[in-house]
Chains A and B, each alone.
Chain A
Amino acid sequence: MERFTALTRTVPLIIGLAVVAILTIVLCTFTGPAGFGFVTTAPGAADIVGGIRFPRVLAAFFVGASLAVAGAAMQALFRNPMADPYILGTSSGGALGASLAVVFLGGIFVPIFAWIGAVVAILVVWSIAGRKGMIPVETLLLTGVAVSFFFSAIVSFLIAIAGQNVHQILFWLMGGFWNASPSSAILAAFILVPAGTLLFVMGRDLNALSLGEETAAHLGIDAGRARWTVLGASTLLVAGAVSIAGSVGFIGLVTPHIVRMLIGPDNRVVIPASMLAGGIILVLSDTIARTFFSDLPVGIITAFVGAPFFIWLICQRGTNT
């Protein structure tokens, strides 16, 4: 009966989140500075709602979902609730790629360069940390931090010499969806569906890994393969998100926390719930940014609203994360 009490708690939660997600997407599509209602015949309304807002809302949803899922997976893998999806240098790599495109190519191919930068950063971290076969996750983390700082230094240098293009880099660093197009929404979905599904299926492996790689091995899990699969899937998710929206902070770190506070740390539930919650939070944040703050970078909204909310949650629940 214990089994079913667990199911009766989690299944409604996932269904509820899914319903909220759909409602959020619909409502936010019809919200914006141009102020169209649900039923409107104003000229150009269909173009704005269907051609601009809807892809942007979808892109925000998929990017938020990607970041939150990757964050949840990385936190389990690194056995550290403070790990965020950028921890292995993805965001600084993406920033470097984007900055290079801004400075040397006059701002074309920014998303592609950001994606390449993010993936290169991870590959550099892997190849440095993974030289000696089996490596402890701590080595991976430290290498990620070191590589991040190195890439950030180059980005700072590029900012210094960027001249009048500097605001383009800065805006990219803060993250936003001004350039979101139907193709970005499709790209994000294209990564999220397989990678998110893979991580969802690996919920048990993540549970065991979150107690330690040796523990996972002793419990009959192929810990080495599980680790690289989780890292690979997370990297693809984060690199995709970074190439579309820049480095939007906070979502990937905090969404899994909020989810765990509500339903506990079982990754079989945390992964899908984070996916939905991350999407909802980013869509709402982006809608606020474009509706009330004349398209402020959404990263500012997520941190400005999210951080106090998170602190309030911590105070409510004590240290029980």
Chain B
Amino acid sequence: MNDGPGINAQNLHAGYGTEDIVRSVSCSFTGGTFTGIIGPNGSGKTTLLRAFSRVLPSSGILELNDRAVSEYTPAQLGMALGFVPQDEGRPFSYTVMQVVLMARYARTSRFASLTPADYARCHAVLEKTGISCLKDRSIRALSGGEWQRVLIARALAQDTRVLLLDEPTSHLDLSHQSEVLCLMRSLAGEGSTVIGVFHDLNMAALYCDRLIMIRDGQLVADGTPGEVLTPEKIRAVYGADVVVSCHPATGRTFLMPLPSRTGNPAHDKSLNVLVISGGGSGADLLRYLSGRGYQLFAGPLATTDTDYLTAKALNIPCIPILPFSQIPAHALEKLRGMLSRADRIVLSTHPVGSGNLAVLDLLREEVPSRLIIHLPEGRDFASYDFARGTAAAAYAGLCSAGATCTSEYNGILACLNEASGRDMEPTEKSFP
């Protein structure tokens, strides 16, 4: 293996009593990386971490810094590996400093007292974790977040090259979360091996170099956040739908859970609904209808349009077109096909100029009776007209040709329900 600090586990089994929670896990961790262990509740994340730190007996090969963990004396282990638990009981009112000083026990003989250097080191980690001001406070008087930072400070004061963290940010507020995780990153940058269990996949993706996903005690994925956090893997392991994208500000993989599609069983899922929108007018509507389980399609959308990004993220098929150009003939042809398959078409009123006027004409020709037009409260067609009156006229023409016009999403739902032969469910005002 390598020369740096690290953990190497091969075919590791561990558990409580006779039952194995962690089964046949093989992975190794090297210095300079911050690895996140992710997985659903009860998947064995914490068990794996506790097996690494030897508080749980394990079978298989487990090496720490190229030496079998079983060969370490307890004191050697305390100098090689630091552990931050999720929480810890506080039956006695030690001061924060007393608790952090306990990290130095492994380094001094029980007959010698702690040296000024030990005190200096503890002051330094209190400074680093931002809790110097709490050093003389009783630990029983601390908030959950302050206590969590004390536990982190104590592990740092152990001065180990390997650091294990069990959900180190579960009690922290937003700014302290990023403070602590930045600190972990910088430790990894200095050559330490940092391994943390995470519930928050976005935090894990943002700060970890590498993610390990486990399910039922077995390793199912191992790689960079981008490789591990795919919608397919998340669906398989967590049973949840997510949108995965690259966050424009951080450039890191970013996840967003989607509302469960099975949440509104009252609606007819087989109803094909085509949404025609543009200029960002339909994004809300797409999300609204998608959350209610309809089979959605979208019309021609410019690839720079918010509606296009929304449709992509929600896996709604659409007709991509170039921005600021005439809708090409083949796109209109495709639209014609979609129109013929759709049970209902929802037209979200959007800016229409000479480039996309053809869409309204096509609607007029094909399907006015199956058309529902959404015009937001307080707006009129003229305000969407960028074709010197012809667009407004075209919109009005659709209405007079038999299309339903509504200003509320509930009105759209009512029409769709009617189409699927159902009564409207009790109205809901709130958005998903």
Interface residues of A (CB under 8 A from B): 2-3, 76, 79-81, 132, 134, 201-202, 204-205, 207-208, 210-212, 214-215, 217-223, 260, 264-266, 320-321
Contacts and interface: CB of A to CB of B under 8 A. Distances in A.
26 contacts: A2-B119, A3-B116, A80-B91, A205-B110, A207-B94, A207-B105, A208-B105, A211-B102, A212-B85, A215-B88, A217-B54, A217-B74, A218-B53, A218-B85, A218-B155, A219-B78, A220-B79, A220-B106, A220-B107, A221-B74, A221-B75, A221-B106, A222-B75, A264-B98, A265-B94, A321-B93
A20 B113 CA distance: 27
A76 B102 CA distance: 15
Interface of B: 17, 50, 53-55, 57, 73-79, 81-83, 85, 88-95, 97-99, 102-103, 105-107, 110-111, 113-114, 116, 119, 138, 140, 154-155, 158
Q: Which of B74, B97, B138, B155 has the most CB of A within 10 A?
A: B74
A210 B116 contact: no
A320 B90 CA distance: 12
Contacts of B99: 211
Nearest to A82: B91
B78 A211 contact: no
The 8 closest A-B pairs by CB, nearest first: A220-B78, A220-B106, A265-B92, A218-B83, A222-B74, A220-B75, A79-B91, A214-B55
A303 B33 CA distance: 59
B102 A204 contact: yes
Nearest to A218: B83
Given A211-B89, A222-B75, 11 more contacts: A3-B113, A76-B92, A132-B17, A204-B102, A212-B88, A219-B106, A220-B79, A221-B74, A264-B93, A265-B94, A265-B98
Q: Which of B17, B99, B102, B155 has the most CB of A within 10 A?
A: B102
Contacts of A214: 50, 55, 85
B102 A3 contact: no
B82 to A, nearest CB: 7
A217 B164 CA distance: 14
A266 B94 CA distance: 7
B94 A218 contact: no
Contacts of B81: 218
A202 B105 CA distance: 11
Given A204-B102, A219-B105, A320-B138, A264 B94 contact: yes
B93 A219 contact: no
A263 to B, nearest CB: 12
Contacts of A207: 94, 98, 102, 105
A205 to B, nearest CB: 8
Contacts of A266: 94, 98
B74 A208 contact: no
